């Protein structure tokens, strides 16, 4: 079985899979053993010089009612990225996604995405003086854009499920109050649909609060922007 999400559709999916599987680069997430297999992420250069991130997995699966015998987790992430893009949630762009069984019936799977050029982890942006450099008006815009991206996801009943601050990226271009702000989300491997938007919202927002360093005033402001975009209050925030 192979699944293709590539611009170069004239190239056979198997050839694309073999090409990306053979690529090697710097590990940005060392292979770790979980879910019965291995998963890691490497940074590589594509044939056109584009910086890419290759998530490479062997035997790394999840099970669900729809997939009781297991399905590669990168395919769940691929599905989530596709949905988020359609919803207007800013996420990495897919270059290729594929999965196949090797001769001993173990899954091998790939997810290749474009680098979020110009973006950085929001905690790195803070540590590098981004807030001080651009000022509070722009910082408010960062919180507002984060809130609006999360709202678009949650109102469609999608839950990130691993919403740590390290998975929030920001890009600020320009200077002064006219600077352009963009927030993006990464690592949607555990993303899933919930029965209601409120359940998705409550889970992710509480998780973000636990796994972030927002002070009380900034968190209050983020929640204000979030609830304004969501259209109602979320209990417990």
pLDDT tens-digit profile of 9-65? 445 667 888 889 888 889 888 877 765 678 889 999 887 888 999 999 888 877 777
* Stated pTM of the model: 0.88
Q: What is the pLDDT of residue 65?
A: 74
Domains and CATH numbers, the chain: 13-114 (3.30.200), 120-230 (1.10.510)
At a CB cut-off of 8 Å and minimum separation 6, what does 104 contact? none
DSSP code of residue 59: S
Higher pLDDT, 177 or 169: 169
Q: Are strands 71-72 and 61-62 parallel, antiparallel or unpaired?
A: antiparallel
Please determine, for residue 7, whether its predicted confidence score (pLDDT) is greater than 60.
no
Q: What is the pLDDT of residue 2?
A: 39
Angle between helix 216-230 and helix 136-155 axes, rounded to 10 deg: 50
118-132 mean pLDDT: 96
Q: Dump strand ranges (E) for the chain.
A: 26-34, 37-45, 51-58, 61-62, 71-72, 94-101, 107-114, 120-121, 158-159, 168-173, 180-185, 192-193
Q: How confident is the model at residue 97 (pLDDT cuts 50, 70, 90)?
A: very high
DSSP code of residue 66: S
Higher pLDDT, 15 or 204: 204
* The token pair that represents 210 in the structure block: 């636990």
Residue carrying structure tokens 């600077």: 179
Residue carrying structure tokens 């940005």: 28
Q: How confident is the model at residue 76 (pLDDT cuts 50, 70, 90)?
A: very high
Task: State the Cα–Cα distance between residues 101 and 2, nearest whole angstrom.
Answer: 9
Q: What is the pLDDT of residue 9?
A: 45
Task: State the Cα–Cα distance between residues 193 and 49, nearest whole angstrom.
Answer: 36
């Amino acid at each position: 079985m192979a699944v293709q999400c590539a611009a170069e559709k004239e190239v056979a999916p198997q050839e694309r899979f073999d090409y990306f599987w053979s690529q090697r680069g710097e590990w940005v997430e060392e292979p770790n053993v979980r879910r019965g297999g291995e998963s890691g992420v490497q940074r590589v250069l594509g044939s056109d010089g584009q910086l890419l991130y290759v998530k490479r997995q062997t035997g790394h699966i999840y099970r669900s009612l729809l997939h009781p015998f297991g399905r590669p987790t990168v395919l769940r992430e691929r599905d989530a990225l596709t949905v988020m893009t359609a919803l207007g949630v800013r996420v990495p762009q897919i270059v290729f996604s594929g999965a196949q069984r090797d001769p001993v019936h173990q899954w091998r799977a790939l997810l290749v995405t474009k680098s979020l050029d110009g973006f950085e982890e929001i905690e790195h942006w803070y540590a590098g003086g981004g807030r001080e450099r651009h000022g509070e008006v722009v910082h408010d815009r960062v919180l507002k854009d984060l809130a609006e991206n999360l709202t678009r996801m949650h109102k469609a009943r999608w839950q990130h499920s691993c919403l740590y601050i390290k998975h929030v990226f920001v890009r600020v271009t320009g200077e002064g109050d006219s600077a352009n702000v963009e927030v993006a989300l990464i690592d949607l491997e555990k993303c899933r649909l919930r029965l209601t938007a409120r359940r998705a919202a409550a889970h992710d927002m509480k998780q973000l609060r636990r796994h972030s360093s927002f002070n009380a005033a900034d968190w209050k402001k983020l929640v204000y922007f979030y609830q304004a975009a969501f259209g109602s209050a979320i209990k417990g925030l």
